[in-house]
A and B are shown apart, each in its own frame.
Chain A
Amino acid sequence: MNSVGPISQPPAARLAHETGLGRFASHMRRGEFWWRVMIWALLLAGSVVMIMPFLWLLTSSFKPEMDIFLFPPKWIPDPWRPQNYSDALTYKPFDIYIKNTLIIVVLNMVAVIVTSSMSAYGFARIKFWGRDFWFVLVLSTMMVPYFVLMVPQFVIFSRLGWIDTFKPLVIPIFFGGGAFNIFLLRQFFRTLPEELADAARIDGCSEFRIYWNIMLPLAKPALAAVAIFTFLNGWNDFIGPLLYLNSPEKFTVAIGLATFRSVMRTRYDLLMAASAAMILPIVVLFFFAQRYFIQGVVLSGLKG
């Protein structure tokens, strides 16, 4: 962070100017060249800081165990030990953890796509008595931190006999799929032209069919964004599985990695390999679905 720290106000101001300068780029003024060089240098310095932990993770994950405890550290593993990965992923039953995580995550995605979009459609396209009241509730639940209701929710789930099952991590999502997703999809549905729905209504189409057959297919980009964020949250979730899953055969990847750590306090080579393996699907997902990530951010209501 140090290399980004010392930037003071003037360069920022110049950059803001740079933004607006897009159209003037053809007649570059004196000094413009040096601004570009400086911006590029800053970008590079910042990215070195951001990328360093990843490189450190990767190099540590390929090192033989004894080389990990060298100071100052070597950057290039010698010899390369890709076996760290297979060792790490078999030391604990990560195949089971991955399967468990995927079951939870896929069910979450189905829940969000179906029930969030349904609620969102109701809020966006139907004018009914009490709608604004309920929408204010959507917004308020969005502002209430998870930890505020963690304890009573645990009490309720334990009364239902749901502890040590996937149920607390899956079933509640089928009830609207989270306020944030409802909000995001509502914003999207509001941008779709009303004429489409009106035409269908005149043809005697029921509201549900308008939603299911006309609006939902049009909302694919927004649904993709929501689905991807749901995948991310499910894959990354730690506190939920920590509270509700006790038996090792029900663990998710996040819990597997966390307990792995306490088992092998010193096997940093394997620990790093397991961490890298957990990050990899996220990075791959990002590269394939980059535009949906951005879409999700833009939809989250900056122009609410």
Chain B
Amino acid sequence: MATATQPIASTAPKLGWFSSLPSATRRTITGYLFIMPFVLGFLFWFLAPALVAVWLTFTDWNLIRAPRYVGFDNILRLGTDNLFWQSLKVTILYTLASVPLGLVLALLLALLINTKVRGIAFFRTIYYLPSIVPAVASAVLWAWIFNTEFGLLNAILRYFGIARIPWLQDPDYALWALIMMSLWGLGGSMIIYLAGLQGIPDVYYEAAEIDGAGRLRQFWNITLPLLSPVIFFNLIMSIIGTFQVFTAGFLITNGGPQNATLFYVLYLYRNAFEYLSMGYAAALAWVLFLIILVLTLLIFRYVGGMVHYEDNA
């Protein structure tokens, strides 16, 4: 590398003092100039807020009065705050249901749209489109679909002789309604699976075919292992995503009925911007960060070992 860049020193005299520096130093200066936007952004909008968050965690502040130091009060309050535990329960339940369902269904859809049948481009579009619909528009639409009196879902159920279900008014159904709604948007993971499937070379299947391996064996022994890094990627991204579900709970149910859809980040938002307890909201944010960190590490530790990485030799 050092020899490759040598000519610059001799052929670029117009750079003056800069060209008299050793090439490694020059490269370092140039490199930092290029990544300067990120470095500054990291300091201003990431590190500084993180420090502010540490400070906030130990204060009682409503944005108006002067902040007051309260020690560990905000953290201790978590233990006795029923709504905190409720929001955690709701979010974990939502994650446990929608992540596995979403991963499996998205994979099945990806397998389906990876076939070479007539009109496949049309099907791919149809499956993908819902995932890019704006969250607000999708919330408005699904609130209407779930409408007890006049909604589409109850109209379809009526066709099967099932009585009206108060999807958004019954605490036993509301969360399931939102899980159902989330599945409509699984096209994002589906497309990632599809890209993964298309990266598997045909020769593996051809070899398996010659060896007489059936469809099921081919799926278990070729598709699944070779797709496992993608499944792993989707798993982590979905979990990070489900812990941040906000718009549906905020616009469709507003956390209700009886806090059945009080998602964690909705509760965080309320504490910060409705109850104006910035300190407690900061404590909630740290807990969210820790949960995601620990979950990610656990998944890497226990699921990561099952991921098959191909030697790209």
Contact = CB atoms under 8 A, between A and B. Distances in A.
A118 B37 contact: yes
A30 interface: no
A152 B272 CA distance: 10
B292 interface: yes
A76 interface: no
Contacts of A257: 136-137, 140
Q: Among B38, B42, B112, B218, which residue has the most Cβ atoms of chain A within 10 A?
A: B38
Contacts of A175: 37-38, 40-42, 44-45
A151 B244 contact: no
A72 B158 contact: yes
B110 to A, nearest CB: 9
Contacts of A144: 46, 289, 292
Contacts of B108: 4, 7, 12
Given A123-B35, A128-B30, A294 B137 contact: no
A261 B251 contact: yes
Interface string B90-125: 000000000000000101110111111110101101
Interface string B187-214: 0000110011101101011101100001
Contacts of A42: 112
B37 to A, nearest CB: 4
B132 interface: yes
B58 interface: no
A151 B56 contact: yes
Interface in A257-304: 257-258, 261, 268, 271-272, 274-276, 278-279, 282-283, 286-287, 290, 293-294, 297-298, 300, 302-303
Contacts of B135: 236, 238, 254
A1 B30 contact: no
A52 B196 CA distance: 28
Contacts of B155: 71-73
Contacts of A36: 117
For chain A, which range describes its interface: under 10, 10 to 19, 20 to 34, or 35 or more residues? 35 or more
Interface residues of B, number: 125
Contacts of A176: 35, 37-38, 40-42
Contact of A69 (B36, B150, B209, B251): B150
A9 interface: yes
A179 B30 CA distance: 20
26 contacts: A1-B105, A13-B217, A13-B218, A13-B219, A16-B215, A16-B219, A20-B204, A43-B123, A46-B109, A50-B126, A53-B145, A115-B37, A123-B35, A141-B42, A143-B240, A145-B288, A148-B292, A150-B285, A176-B40, A235-B134, A236-B136, A238-B246, A286-B128, A286-B129, A290-B125, A294-B191
Interface of B: 1, 4-5, 7-8, 11-12, 14-15, 24, 27-28, 30-42, 44-46, 48-53, 56, 63, 105, 107-109, 111-118, 120, 122-123, 125-130, 132-137, 139-145, 149-150, 152, 154-155, 158-159, 180, 183-184, 191-192, 195-197, 199-200, 202, 204-206, 208-209, 214-220, 222-223, 229-230, 233, 240, 243-244, 246-247, 251, 265, 268-269, 272-273, 278, 281-282, 285-286, 288-289, 292, 296
Interface of A: 1, 4-5, 7, 9-10, 12-25, 36, 39-40, 42-43, 46-47, 50-54, 56-57, 60, 68-73, 115-116, 118-119, 121-123, 126-131, 134, 137-138, 141, 143-156, 158, 172, 174-177, 179, 182, 198, 201-204, 206-208, 211, 232, 235-236, 238-239, 243, 254, 257-258, 261, 268, 271-272, 274-276, 278-279, 282-283, 286-287, 290, 293-294, 297-298, 300, 302-303
